[in-house]
Structure 1
Amino acid sequence: MTPRPPAAPEGRPTRGTTGTNRLRRVDRWIAHLAEFRRAPDPLVVDLGYGANGVTTLELEARLRRVRGDVDVHGLEIDPERVARASEQLEATRRGATVFSPDARVSFARGGFEVPLPDGRRPAVIRAFNVLRQYEERDVPGAWERMTARLAPGGVLVEGTCDEIGRLCSWIDVDAGGAPVRFTISLRLAELERPGVVAERLPKALIHRNVPGERIHDLLVALDREWERAAALAPFGPTQRWMAAVAALRASGVPVLGGRSRWRLGELTVPWDVVRPG
């Protein structure tokens, strides 16, 4: 009997605008997550890594500082991208790149179905800049397909960022397919106002930034507190940002985390704060 060919990967190829250090903010987020730190098997999938494997290699380098036993598996639909990333990995093994020759990284072809060898299930799936080309109505199905592959207690981190990683936002989705947290992460130096992140919201929210929607209310309130904290500008943008976030929480917004996260330019809230109406 002729063996059946493998099914085609699910989804569409990303635009492939990969850039060094582009995903540093979300890498830092994943490294601190309890879902990763406490995972019995710290397998992380980088879904849709783009034109080459640099962001996957960077992700492993950052996560291994927390879990030396981390494995990072990059998946792409385009076979040429998989071949290119595999060549980068071979060069890394030879010591010809800035990454560790023993980097626990692998690359393969795959999409939303998240194919993995030996029946393993990831603790974390990072899917960044993957859903931007889809319709909002496609998001729940994509979340459900990816989270079905997570290990119990795992998390999908799905979001987007600008080309150089200065404006980022993402949603944490649990293994049951339910969104639980929303985060924005901004480079504070030269930040005009936090609301500029509106152009880099995840697909589930980007079309909801209109009056009457919760995400719009949050960004308006954050901009307002940023302006009110203008007197702290001479002390630097970090102090101004932290004051704005503290004031936002004091106003009743259930901001998560504390000053150590805010200092990084982050703001995290429960999903219900921004849930589309």
Structure 2
Amino acid sequence: MSTLDAKTRGRTAPGRLRALDAWLCRFERELLTRVDGAWARAVFVDVGFGEHPWTTLESAEAFRALQPELTVIGVELEEARALAAQAHAGPRTHFRQGGFELPLSEDEPVRLVRAMNLLRQGPVERVSEVHRALGRFLLPSGLLVEGSSDPEGSVLTAHLLRRTSADPEAPPAREALLFHTDFRNGFAPLLFRDWLPRDLRRRVRPGEAMHHFFQEWTDAWRQSREAGHTSPADAFRESVTRLGARVGGVSNEPWLLDSGYLVWRPEGGVSP
């Protein structure tokens, strides 16, 4: 265990990250299917799959619908969990013990790393170090997804971090924030606040970019409801449309709005 790692409860549930898989399949299709040069060997790494590798296996199924030869590597800090997951291993599905210093070889370049629900505790100062460690094996333009969801996966937020430098020691760029809800718990913008990535949760305070973002979104949501958009899905769709007129970098792609997703790509990236 490195100094970056910390034990987690490791509890997850089938379907918890299906919405994230769906977004990746739609908007990162090229990343998942690219096979030229080193990309032919490039793998997907799921970090911290927990007591049972449900989410790793679900992602493997979803991504292989696009790229049947994709190699998937599940990584888990607890040795017993990693050993138990071997029952689900296959020719292109592997499970290894390890942490944020990924147990990969130099012959295993990475196209996508996912690390969900691993950084909710511990000092916020270690987040940038974890991002740097997880991004080390990424190919240029490879993606790191790091964030949190509630236990059922009905509310989710995640950093989208892109490797933009040829230097493996350079941290991945903080490209965007992804929000998703399935409306199981209704909808209001502050529903997402407690599920923000670890380094942003305390940034929802006056003077901070995250506070301004949520303030604008909440105002847009209230105006949407006053205009008669009262159902959770309708209020979400209308509020995001209104938010896009107030805040730069908000996507208004119809599939996103209709499916409960918001993607925010502020100019210059998401401030830590």
Q: Give the alignment's TM-score, normalised by structure 1.
A: 0.85
8 Å Cα contact 1:9-1:110 kept in structure 2: no
Amino acid at match of 1:36: L
Q: Deviations over 1:121-159 (max 9, x none)?
A: 110000001111221111111111111111222111000
Residue 194 (structure 2) pairs with residue 199 (structure 1): yes
Q: Choose the corresponding residue for 1:112, options 91, 100, 109.
A: 100
Match for residue 130 of structure 2 among 138, 142, 150: 142
253-262 or 176-185, larger mean C-alpha shift: 253-262
Name stretches of at least 5 consecutive residues in structure 2 with no aligned partner. 166-171
Contact 1:10 1:112 in 2 (8 A): yes
SS in 2 for 1:19: coil
CA deviation after TM superposition for structure 1 residue 19, in Å: 0.9
- Residues 216 and 246 of structure 2 are in contact (CA less than 8 Å); yes or no, is this contact kept in structure 1? no
- Once residues 67 and 171 of structure 1 are traced to their aligned partners in structure 2, the CA distance between those partners, rounded to angstroms, is 24
Counterpart in the other structure of 2:53: 53
Is structure 2 residue 271 aligned with structure 1 residue 275? Answer: yes
CA deviation map 1:34-64 (0-9, x unaligned): 4334363351100111111111101111111
Change (3 A) 1:189 1:130: closer
Shift in alpha-carbon separation, 1:253–1:152, aligned structure 2, 3 A: closer
**AA paired with 2:193?**
A
Of 204, 210, 235, 1:209 maps to: 204
> How far apart, in 1, do the equivalents of 2:219 and 2:156 lie?
20
Q: Which runs of 5+ in 1 are unaligned?
A: 1-6, 94-101
The counterpart of 1:12, out of the listed 6, 13, 29, is 6
The alpha-carbon distance between structure 1 residues 247 and 57, as it changes in their structure 2 partners (threshold 3 A), is same
Alignment match, 1:222: 217
Rounded to whole Å, the distance in 2 between the matches of 1:253 and 1:232 is: 25
| 1:35 aligns to 2:23 (yes or no) | no
**Match of residue 77 from structure 2:** 77
8 Å Cα contact 1:155/1:172 also seen in 2: yes
Evaluate the alpha carbon distance shift between residue 18 and residue 107 of structure 1 in structure 2; reply closer, same or farther with a 3 A threshold.
same
RMSD of equivalent CA atoms: 2.2
- Counterpart AA for 2:43: L
Alpha-carbon deviation of 1:249?
Answer: 0.8
Give the equivalent residue in structure 1 for 2:169. none
Shift of 1:211: 1.4
Question: How far apart are the structure 1 equivalents of 2:98 and 2:4?
Answer: 7
Moved over 4 A (4+): 7-10, 271-274
In structure 2, how many angstroms separate the alpha carbons of the residues matched to 1:190 and 1:48?
26
Identity %: 27
Looking at structure 2, the residues matched to 161 and 20 of structure 1 have their Cα atoms a distance apart, in angstroms, of: 13
Q: Structure 2: how far apart are the matches of 1:232 and 1:266?
A: 21
How many Å apart are 1:192 and its aligned residue?
3.6
